[in-house]
Structure 1
Amino acid sequence: MDTAIAAIVLLVIMLALLAGGFWIAMTLAACGWVGQAFFTSTTPGKNLFSAFWESNASWELAALPLFIWMGEILFRTKLSEQMFSGLSPWLGRVPGRLFHTTVLGCGIFGSVSGSSAATCATISKVALPELKKRGYDERIALGSLATAGTLGILIPPSITMVVYAVAADASIIRVFLAGFLPGLLLMLLFSGYIAIWSTKNRDRMPAAEPATTFAEKLRQSRHLIPCALLIVFVGWALISGIATATECAAYGAMGSLILAAASRSLTWENFRDSLMGAARTSCMIAFVLAGASFLSKTMAFTGIPRELAEWVDAMNLPPAGLIAILVAVYLVLGTALDGISMIVLTAAIVLPMVQKAGFDLVWFGIFVVLLVEIAEVTPPVGFNLFVLQNMTGKDSNIIARAALPFFGCLVVCIVLITAFPQIVTVLPDLVMGVQR
């Protein structure tokens, strides 16, 4: 009974503080303090300091600011614009034509940025003016950009994956490897819908552009080479096992600096801006993780996760039933919280339940990342909706409606990895097995 009362009190306090506009990190820390002060015999102050130190004194977490900085460098230089011009010549004969640049561009940039918002903003800045100039349907362009931008957190390296791996005490490399095939599957689903829509709505497609020679295509594709080399190098270093995730992040940041300098688009101004942007984002995430770590200690002292896991176990829910409940919970949270906050808020409670139900934590990490992707395009707090709203002046609800068909692709992807978990687990099992 005491545990139930503690859980209800902490939930009410958390909801009240979030509704009042408090910072999420402060809300988490405040709930942790109240829980320890009134429902345990431990000392909140001592645990607060230890939680804040332990949550950020992590070698694995050092990958976070480096990946963020790599994305900031690419976002603020010409490298992102060069990707679009390199992709577009090859899509003239594919159903949907240049619409696919939104999906391919987000997939490529997402694989080196690790950020959904950075991916969405970068590709939108480049693709939207080009698509509008050529007469492509704006609604499909907005919808595909809003959802394909989420590939930044599914295709490794991913900031969200690093946060999940740290929260779940899972291998960052295994979680990274697990994201490749689902990321490819999601890109195919997005492009498949675009191809079907464009085939059924030929009257809303612009006239085909003049054909270009193979030599011209190769000439324009030279713009893809810098980012392609960076992606291949970071991916090879990670998969081959010659570098840890943190070392790969350092290589990626260094590589993006070299590429930006070589293209003569690196200035002191955008160098400073990239550092400041990375510092702001990294500090925000570190603060949230610290608050979540303190709340996790509170959960451990009160025994709430253990009793909740035992309660769920006593219900004898089949795995599908537990997954259905978690989907509903995360979809509700996604209407009010960003993805990283969703993970750190629920990790202490959900992960023991998932382990008790026998789910693989690496698979569950990709499952959660896909739900976070849905949250990125779910009003009223869909980050990608805000990004596109700021860039286009369109109301976020209009963008959300445009994203609905692609939202359905995300749901289909979740269903597929749930029905066939090997889509997620086969690559990490194969690579890590070979390394052993």
Structure 2
Amino acid sequence: MEFAATGVFLFVLFLLLGSGVWVGLALLGVAFVGMELFTSRPAGDAMMTTIWSASSSWTLTALPMFIWMGEILFRTRLSEDMFKGLSPWMAKLPGGLLHTNIVGCTVFAAVSGSSAATLTTVGKMSIPELRARNYPEKMIIGTLAGAATLGLMIPPSLTLIVYGVTINESITKLFIAGILPGLVLALMFMAYASLYGIFSKDYKPTPEPEMSLLERVKNSRFLIPVIVLILIVIGSMYLGYATATEAAAFGVVGSMALAALQRSLTWTSFTQSLLGATRTSAMIALILAGAAFLSLSMGFTGLPRALASFIASLDLSRFELLMALLVFYIIIGCFLDGISSVVLTIAVVEPMIRQAGIDVIWFGIFIVVVVEMAQITPPIGFNLFVLQGMTHHEMNYIAKAALPMFGIMVVMVFVLIFFPDIATWLPENMRQR
């Protein structure tokens, strides 16, 4: 039965996705067919109950709040202020102002949670500035493509929220687990930019004018608002004063205050941010509802248990299992966005990792790094499409520029495997509320 169910699930799923049906509706359709063919339970009643249960989770309320916070900040002058504050300090490093792409994305990731929002916000300011200073085009695009994926890892991460809700794990712990790996990955990107600046013959940017220490410190005032916002959102969770949902509410209030201080909070920008957050939240909620129903349907067929037993019978080591999952997620990431990849597969993958004794918090960070790769791999790499719209280059050019960043992320996977404490130390030692 399990093999027949697998064939039906895959056939219907690829048929629906190939016909252009929304991912959430495709998941619901696959689950409905599975319930009708392989169980005696009424599919309609099961679907209504499951969708309500999946949509009424209190933990899930953090999702639209963090999305709204990112939408508000996207419409402020945050990118312009970050460039003014960061450029005096980055200019003298090997690689120069390329580091503003990486550090700027890291900073905005800490208040956004979205890779696309991070890329668009930082890119709309840095691309023209770096081009005007004669920085290599492929490095401008490559560093932006790679560093923008940090929006998926550094809290607040939408992907980690979805993962936590799906496996019923603490969102706060997952957020805290993403801090150190996110910073390590950012440092690896910066190391690459530095080495390029030192050894590449194509690196001939226009030198920046000299600035005194006092002038640099004075320019740093532009970073104060966003740093305060980061401390409020992440600090309140780490110190145990707020749950992820409460921290999201603080973030929305703080982002509105920041927009008001910058005089960029108008009725138009407010309504646009609210509508943008509503659209994104509704899309993710539909995917989660479809995934919950699909998990129920597969549970009735016994497919997850059978697959977990099959994997166990192969007697794979922990490392071999992780390598298989790495290849698996890279392949499906070429065709699905990150959130869809997680919710579509986690019902099958979760029993495997638990049976192998893999920490679910650590695995959440592992899967986010791999999903980050999907953002810059053709043909569906979303960051590549965003960059194509911003730079007007062909997709092949952008994908080649992002390829070194993909390699760095692969290295990061092995760093996580051999040094798991990078992801587990902070959540294990955080103050419990």
TM-score exceeds 0.5 = yes
**What is the alpha-carbon root mean square deviation over aligned residues?**
1.0
* Aligned-residue offset at 1:220: 1.3
C-alpha separation in 2, matches of 1:108 and 1:118: 12
Q: Which residue identity is paired with 2:432?
A: Q
Aligned 8 A contact 1:74 1:80 in 2:
no
Counterpart Cα distance in 2 of 1:57 and 1:41: 26
Residue type at the aligned position of 1:335: C
What amino acid maps onto 2:415 in structure 1? L
* 1:210 shift after superposition: 1.9
1:35 aligned residue:
34
Q: Deviation per CA, 1:65-89, whole angstroms, max 9, x where unpaired?
A: 1100110111111123211111101
Equivalent position of 1:278 in the other structure: 277
User: Are residue 206 (structure 1) and residue 205 (structure 2) matched?
Assistant: yes
Equivalent position SS for 1:288:
helix
Please report how far the alpha carbon of residue 395 of structure 1 lies from its aligned counterpart in structure 2 after TM superposition. Answer: 1.7
Once residues 77 and 270 of structure 1 are traced to their aligned partners in structure 2, the CA distance between those partners, rounded to angstroms, is: 9
Alpha-carbon deviation of 1:314? 1.1
Q: Which amino acid aligns with 2:57?
A: S
Deviations 1:38-77 (A, max 9, x none): 1111111011001111111011100001100110111111
Amino acid at match of 1:156: P
Alpha-carbon distance between aligned partners in 2 of 1:245 and 1:171, rounded to the nearest angstrom: 9
CA contact (8 A) 2:196 2:203 kept: no
Partner of 2:65: 66
1:320-345 residue CA offsets vs partner (Å, 9 max, x unmatched): 11111111110110110000000000
Of 422, 432, 435, the residue aligned with 2:432 is 435
For 1:306-317, list aligned pairs within 5 A. 306-317=305-316
Please state if 1:353 is matched with 2:352: yes
1:6 corresponds to: 5
Correspondence 1:172 to 2:150? no
Q: Is 1:56 the equivalent of 2:55?
A: yes
Residues 303-326 of structure 1: per-residue CA shift (max 9 Å, x gap): 100111111111111111111111
Aligned length: 433
User: Offset at 1:281?
Assistant: 0.3
Cα distance in 2 for residues equivalent to 1:247 and 1:93: 40
Which AA in structure 2 matches 1:29?
L
Question: 2:215 aligns to what?
Answer: 216
- What is the Cα deviation at residue 203 of structure 1? 5.1
CA contact (8 A) 1:137 1:204 kept: yes
1:240 counterpart = 2:239: yes
Provide Cα deviations, 1:267-297, integer angstroms capped at 9, x if missing partner.
Answer: 1111111111100000000001001110011
Aligned structure 1 segments of 4 or more residues deviating by more than 3 angstroms: none
Identity across matched positions, percent = 49
Distance 2:294 2:208 in 1: 57
- Alignment partners' CA distance in 1, 2:125 and 2:65: 24
Contact 1:65/1:278 (8 A) holds in 2 = yes
CA distance in 1, matches of 2:128, 2:385: 18
Instruction: Encode CA deviations 1:218-241: one digit per residue, 9 max, x unaligned.
Output: 221111011011001111101011
Summarize the alignment of residues 79-94 of structure 1 with structure 2, pairs less than 5 Å apart: 79-94=78-93
The one-letter amino acid paired with 1:296 is S
After the TM superposition, which residues 402-421 of structure 1 pair with which residues of structure 2 at under 5 Å, given as runs?
402-421=401-420
Distance in 1 of aligned mates of 2:78 and 2:331 = 37
Q: Which amino acid aligns with 2:218?
A: R
Offset, 1:415 = 0.7
Give the structure 2 partner of residue 162 of structure 1. 161
- Counterparts of 2:395 and 2:375, CA distance in 1: 12
Q: Distance in 2 between matches of 1:401 and 1:261?
A: 40
Q: Normalising by structure 1, what TM-score?
A: 0.98
**Higher deviation after alignment, 354-363 or 207-216:** 207-216
Q: What is the CA–CA distance in structure 2 between the aligned matches of 1:395 and 1:350, rounded to whole Å?
A: 36
The residue type equivalent to 1:303 in the other structure is: G
Once residues 210 and 119 of structure 1 are traced to their aligned partners in structure 2, the CA distance between those partners, rounded to angstroms, is 28
When normalised by structure 2's length, the TM-score is 0.98
Equivalent pair of 2:136/2:202 in contact (CA under 8 Å) = no
Q: Which amino acid aligns with 2:29?
A: A
Q: Distance in 1 between matches of 2:292 and 2:362?
A: 23
- Secondary structure of 1:97 counterpart: coil
1:355 maps to amino acid: R
- Map of 1:334-353 to 2, 5 A cutoff? 334-353=333-352
Distance of 2:6 and 2:134 partners within structure 1 = 54
Q: Distance in 1 between matches of 2:344 and 2:150?
A: 22
What residue is the counterpart of 2:422 in the other structure?
423
Q: Which moved more, 1:371-380 or 1:260-269?
A: 260-269
Supply the AA of the counterpart residue of 2:393: K
Matched to 1:377, the amino acid is I
CA distance in 2, matches of 1:82, 1:125: 12
Counterpart residue number, 1:365: 364
**Counterpart Cα distance in 2 of 1:205 and 1:36:** 62
Rounded Cα–Cα distance in structure 2 between residues aligned with 1:41 and 1:317: 36
Check if 1:15 corresponds to 2:14. Answer: yes
Shift, 1:208, TM fit? 2.1
For the residues of structure 2 that align with 1:435 and 1:266, how far apart are their CA atoms? 36
Aligned match of 2:187: 188
Q: Which amino acid aligns with 1:263?
A: Q
Q: Report the alpha carbon displacement of residue 4 of structure 1 after superposing the two structures with TM.
A: 1.1
Alignment deviations for residues 171-190 of structure 1 (CA, whole Å, 9 cap, x no partner):
11111111011001101100
Cα distance, 1:202 vs structure 2: 5.2
Alignment match, 1:401:
400
CA drift at 1:407: 1.1
1:92–1:211: 8 Å Cα contact kept in structure 2?
A: no
